[in-house]
Structures are given as C-alpha cells and as structure tokens.
Structure 1
Amino acid sequence: MSYFTYDGSFDGLLTAIFESYALKIAEPQIYIEGDLGPQLFEKIHKVSADQEKAERVKTKIQSLLGKSGLQSLWKATLSEQTNVGNIVSGVVRYALKSEKDVLKDYGHPSVLALQEIMKKLSRERHRMTAFVRFKLASDQIYYATIEPDFDVLPLISEHFKNRYADQKWMIFDLKRNYGVFYDLTKVVPVEFHQTENSETPALISIEWDDTEMEFQSLWKNYFKSTNIASRKNPKLHLQHVPKRYWKYLVEK
C-alpha cells in the first residue's frame, strides 16, 4: 500500500491525487502530514502543493461535478477529519471512472461519507451564524471569538460581511489561532502568533468601549423579560443551544 502526505491545504490534497495517478497507484492512502502514524515497510510520498497540478485536477473535477461539486470537496477539507483526504480522493476517482456527476450516488462509500461531512459542516455553520456575539472595543471595532468543532470561519465570513456591512468587525477562532477582519470593503485573514512556551491560544488584549457593558446589561434584561418560565424545556434547549456554546453567549 502506498501512502501520500500533504500540507493540509486543498491544493496540497489535489496535488497528492495528481501524483497518485502519475505514479499509477490504484488505491492511495492520503493523509495530512502529522496525521499518519509510523508505517513499517510502506513507502510514504511526501507531496508539496503544486498550483499547476492542483489546477489541472480542479478543472477536471469541475467538468464532471460542476462548480458546486468542487466547492463541496473543498468544504469537506474544513472538517479536519483524519480520513478526509481519502474521502475526497475516493469521490474524485469514482467520478473520473464514471465520467459523470456522482455526488448523489450515496451507494458509494466515499460519496456517502462526503454527504455526512457536509451535513455536519452545515449544522456547525448554522450554529456559528446564530451564536456569534460581538463586543464593541474602544477602537470602535466589534470583536467576537469562537471555537467551532470544524474550521467553518471561511464559510461564515460572507454572512457577517453582508449582515454588518457598515461596521468594522473581527471574528477570531481561538481553537485554530486565526481570524478574519472586515475593514468596510473586504474580509481579510489575520493571525496572531503565540509567545514562546505558551500553551494557550493567542489572545488579544482588548479595551472595551464604555457603552459595551451597558448594552450587555440591556440584552440580558431583554432576554430575561421575554423568557417564559412555565414553558422552559431544558432538554429541547440543549438540543438547539449545546452547552459548549454558552460561554460565548452574553445572555448565559
């Protein structure tokens, strides 16, 4: 069995798929560097992302699965699942063999696995758009922090750009130590590097605006006043608002 490792990028994954065909390997095992444990007597091909090779694979995928199909494969990599490289590779190989759009053929294990990933991503994306809470800083920029199960920040940026088009804001993913900043014209990625010997995600020291606590107090009072105690359903509430999100909700 032949193994391929890549840098975690979508282009890196597509390059690995390209290389597996170039080497005529029928069933390659593709993993992100670091996710593949020691393999005795097995050859490991370490692949560097090659934009030209990746673009060739993208063009072929799009001709078979369409633009939305290509985006689905990219979105799947945001799940960060250990086996996602093999799932994407399996779908691509099945499509190339069938010479048609196979994304609704749920009888194929890779297509079914892709569909399950897309459902989980969609659920997490929806929750993030609902549970993000911004706070106004003294520099008049709204800040929010998240720790989603999957890397959904690229999927929710456009939502907040459209919703808060007249405000500067930043959303920071504490789990992955990067964020996005909207400067009233475009959304740009931002990174904060941890200091040496730090075991916690990089945090930003922010001075909040004087009105921020007042707004938070008003929101808590509104939430309390609209709550009907006799209709409380804790079990249903936890289904829609899992406890892991509570620390980011002002009303909690």
Structure 2
Amino acid sequence: MIYLIDGSLEGLLCAVFEWFERKPGKVMIQLEKEHQPDAFTTVFPVSNDEKKADRVWKGLQRKLNKGWMRRVYCTFLSETPEAYVSLFEFACYIFSSPNGAEANYGNPHVLAVAQTAKKVEREKHRMEAFIRFQHTADGMFYCGIDPDFNVLPLIMQHFKNRYADQQWIIYDLKRHYGLFYDLDKVEEIQMDEARLKTNYKPAENLLSEKEALYATLWKDYFKSTNIMARKNTKLHVQHVPKRYWKYLTEKQDK
C-alpha cells in the first residue's frame, strides 16, 4: 500500500497517525506530485488533519528530547523523498519501541534521520556565515540564496538578532519565498520574480549609490589582509566551498 502525502509536516504526521489507526502492514510513503498510478498498488490519500498531526507531534515530544525533535524537524526541511520515508519509519519505530529507542543507530531509519539532520544543520551554519547583504535604494538590505535545503526557518532567529537595527530580506530563489524583517518582527514573503535577477542580486537600478563603494572597500580590505605566501587554495575551498562564492562580495571578481 502507498500512503500519498502533500509534502507538508502536517501531512507526514497524519500518515503516522493513520498507520497506527489502520494497521495496514508495510506501507510506502510517496509525495502526491511524484506518484505514478498503476493498476496493482493500493493507494491511500492521507488527508491533513490538524488535530491528528498535533497528537502525533506531542507524542513524539513525550518520547524524544529537544535535540531529537530538532533532528526530526531538520530532516523534514531537507525536502528529499528519502527523508519523508525515513521520518515516517522513524516515528513508527519510536512509538512501537520502549523509551530510548532513538539511541539505536543500528536501526537504519534512526541513522538516516541523524545523518540528514546533520547535513541540514551544516547548510544552516554555512548560510549564516556566507550570506552578504546588498543595500538597495529604498534602504533595504537584500540577499538572494539558493540553499540545498529549506534552511530559512532555521536561520531566521540568527539574522533577527544579529541585524536587529536594519530592515532586511533574505530570499530563497529556489523555493520562491523569503523572510522580511521590519525592525520589529520577521514575516514570510513572496516577491515578484521579475524583480529578481538570476545572479542573486536585486536589479541594478535598485541598488544604493553607496553599495558599489561598500563593495570596493570590502574587496580592498580583503586583499590587504590576504597573505599570498600563506595561500592554501585546497584548504580554503574545504572551508568555503565554491558553490557559496556567489554570496561573497570578495569573490565577485573571481
């Protein structure tokens, strides 16, 4: 049997609820958008129900500590088909086992959740380290990103605390939504794609007149502090992978 979900966390939690409610045996988790119907497989479309999802989430909170709950959430934010399967199997395993089952890394689903969460956390830390804002003419600080995973919910608090005195937008170009901080709160927004260029910058005519000066000053500072005799490109790329260079002002001429 195939359980079809819409890809939301609520839908995934409802799938766990339905499995325990119906006890259908072995099932497969698939996203609705990826399902290919056939004549030989029984399909059960999982309907989202806030109350059912809330019961499952609270049940996990009773079984798992905060660290593992964060791993569950991070794995969900990876948005991979394998992650949905791992989370479903993990939750079923946790509810069917005595307390402490999450420590059994011999279980493939426990291991998969832990490893996937670690990858998402690594992407989160890299976004926090490598994001560079550009100052637009309307006084907004903007940065467009395209992370491997949906890390905006994870980096929101970091940037709200670090840049509390300025308005900013961090926009996920791959997932077509972003975060807007208005000096008071952070809100989720969607922007007109016509305003966004594929080189991760706002339209040139929206940039502040001082932005070019800021960029030049930063590049000059970076060059002046760089010691060529100690240059180690291999080590540098290990710490700052090339796919993140597009976010760094000091790398724009490379």
C-alpha contact 1:145 1:174 (8 A) present in aligned 2: yes
Tell me the amino acid that sits aligned with residue 59 of structure 2.
K
| Corresponding residue of 1:237 | 236
C-alpha contact 2:72 2:117 (8 A) present in aligned 1: no
| Corresponding residue of 1:178 | 177
The 5 A counterparts of 1:53-132 are 53-132=52-131
Partner Cα separation in structure 2 for residue 194 and residue 207 of structure 1 = 15
Tell me, yes or no, if structure 1 residue 207 matches structure 2 residue 206. Answer: yes
C-alpha contact 1:3 1:30 (8 A) present in aligned 2: yes
Partner Cα separation in structure 2 for residue 138 and residue 201 of structure 1 = 18
C-alpha contact 1:194 1:201 (8 A) present in aligned 2: no
* 1:102 to partner: Cα distance: 2.5
| Corresponding residue of 1:17 | 16
Tell me the amino acid that sits aligned with residue 182 of structure 2.
D
Tell me the amino acid that sits aligned with residue 5 of structure 2.
Y
* 1:104 to partner: Cα distance: 2.2
* 1:66 to partner: Cα distance: 3.2
- In structure 2, do the counterparts of structure 1 residues 193 and 28 end up closer, same or farther at CA, with 3 Å as the change threshold? farther
| Corresponding residue of 2:132 | 133
* 1:119 to partner: Cα distance: 1.2
TM-score, structure 1 length as denominator? Answer: 0.92
* 1:89 to partner: Cα distance: 1.2
Tell me the amino acid that sits aligned with residue 106 of structure 2.
G
Partner Cα separation in structure 2 for residue 22 and residue 201 of structure 1 = 49
TM-score, structure 2 length as denominator? Answer: 0.91
1:66-125 deviations in Å (ceiling 9; x for gaps): 344333212211111111121111111111111313322211100000111011011111
Partner Cα separation in structure 2 for residue 237 and residue 245 of structure 1 = 12
1:203-233 deviations in Å (ceiling 9; x for gaps): 8546111111111000000000011111111
Tell me the amino acid that sits aligned with residue 248 of structure 2.
L
1:186-213 deviations in Å (ceiling 9; x for gaps): 1110113557xxxx79985461111111
Higher share of residues assigned helix? 2
C-alpha contact 2:141 2:169 (8 A) present in aligned 1: yes
Tell me the amino acid that sits aligned with residue 42 of structure 2.
K
C-alpha contact 2:86 2:112 (8 A) present in aligned 1: yes
- In structure 2, do the counterparts of structure 1 residues 202 and 128 end up closer, same or farther at CA, with 3 Å as the change threshold? closer
Q: Bigger shift: 218-227 or 11-20?
A: 11-20
Tell me the amino acid that sits aligned with residue 249 of structure 1.
L
Tell me the amino acid that sits aligned with residue 155 of structure 2.
I
Partner Cα separation in structure 1 for residue 55 and residue 6 of structure 2 = 19
Percent identity over the alignment is 45
Partner Cα separation in structure 1 for residue 67 and residue 236 of structure 2 = 34
C-alpha contact 1:141 1:169 (8 A) present in aligned 2: yes
1:22-81 deviations in Å (ceiling 9; x for gaps): 221232211222233444411122223211110010111111113443332122111111
Partner Cα separation in structure 2 for residue 131 and residue 202 of structure 1 = 13
Unaligned runs of 5+ in 2: none
Partner Cα separation in structure 1 for residue 43 and residue 136 of structure 2 = 49
| Corresponding residue of 1:217 | 216
How many pairs were matched up?
247
C-alpha contact 2:2 2:28 (8 A) present in aligned 1: yes
Partner Cα separation in structure 2 for residue 72 and residue 201 of structure 1 = 32
Tell me, yes or no, if structure 1 residue 6 matches structure 2 residue 31. Answer: no
